[in-house]
């Protein structure tokens, strides 16, 4: 059975005190759970529900709605490539094709070694620097195929490059 670490439990308790309703702490607590467990599956939903003293189905309803809540384990490096207008006209599809050909994954998939997962995402609010991608929490901008492959190679070697 999954459990929250002591630090996470304390963080969650403090959050429940911060808002006029306990429910308002749900989304921040889901992010804590995601940090602890990597993704939110049925078991994690139950752990959250137990901790917050709410029903598991109300956790499910909310976790299902938000795209940043992972329902399946992402790769160590979760590639979020923007495919909205400004990135599309700056050749974002080329990057997506490369990922498909070279890493063998499409939207929603993860590589066999669990190193990379891919998600097509909507506008990341960095359109002046298109095309862009987030890798976990790091934004990479003005991606050419050359810059993109350099980033992927660095990640394969365990290095998180600067943008």
Partner 1 sequence: MPELKLLSRNFHHPDQRDLQAALNRGAYQQLKRVLAEKTAPEAIIEEVKAAKLRGQGGAGFPAGMKWSFVPKGTDKPKYLCVNGDESEPGTFKDKVILENDPHLLIEGAALCCYAVGIHTAYIYIRGEYHEPQRIVRQAVADAYEAGFLGKNIFDSGFDLDVIVHTGAGAYICGEETALLNSLEGLKGWPRIRPPFPAVKGAFACPTVINNVETLSCVVRILEMGGEAYRKVGTEKDGGTKLFAVSGHVEKPGTYELPMGSSLKELIFDICGGVKGGKKLKAVIPGGSSTPVLKADEVDVTLEFEAMMAAGTMLGSGAAIVLDETVSIPEIFTVTARFYAHESCGQCTQCREGCTWLYKLGLKILGGHGKPADLDLILDLADQMDGKQTVCPLGPACAMPCRAFVQKFRDEFLSLMKS
Contact residues for partner 1 (CB under 8 A)? 18-21, 23-28, 30-31, 61-62, 64-69, 80, 83-86, 88-90, 121-130, 134, 137-139
The contact pattern for ligand FES, residues 23-62, with x = CB under 6 A and - = no contact, is: ----------------------------------------
Contact 29, 12 (CB under 8 A): yes
User: What is the closest distance, in whole angstroms, from the C-beta atom of residue 34 to ligand FES in the complex?
Assistant: 23
Buried b (16+ CB within 10 A) or exposed e, 88-113: eebebeebbeebeeebebeeebbbee
Cα 82 to Cα 150: distance, rounded to the nearest angstrom:
18
User: What is the closest distance, in whole angstroms, from the C-beta atom of residue 67 to partner 1 in the complex?
Assistant: 4
Among 84, 109, 111, 149, binds ligand FES (CB under 6 A): 84
Cα 102 to Cα 27: distance, rounded to the nearest angstrom:
35
Number of other CB atoms surrounding residue 137 within 10 Å: 6
Q: Which residues bind ligand FES (CB under 6 A)?
A: 82, 84-87, 123-124, 126-127, 130, 132
């Amino acid at each position: 059975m999954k459990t929250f670490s002591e630090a996470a439990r304390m963080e969650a308790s403090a959050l429940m005190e911060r808002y006029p309703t306990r429910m308002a702490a749900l989304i921040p607590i889901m992010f804590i759970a995601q940090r602890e467990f990597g993704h939110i599956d049925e078991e994690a939903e139950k752990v959250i529900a137990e901790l917050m003293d709410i029903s598991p189905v109300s956790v499910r309803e909310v976790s299902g709605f938000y795209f940043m809540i992972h329902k399946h384990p992402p790769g160590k490096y979760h590639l979020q490539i923007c495919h909205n207008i400004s990135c599309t006209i700056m050749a974002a599809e080329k990057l997506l094709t490369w990922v498909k050909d070279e890493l063998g994954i499409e939207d929603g998939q993860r590589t066999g070694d669990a190193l990379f997962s891919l998600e097509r995402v909507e506008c990341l609010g960095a359109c002046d620097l298109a095309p862009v991608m987030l890798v976990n929490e790091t934004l990479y901008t003005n991606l050419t195929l050359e810059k993109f492959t350099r980033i992927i190679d660095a990640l394969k070697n365990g290095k998180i490059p600067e943008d």
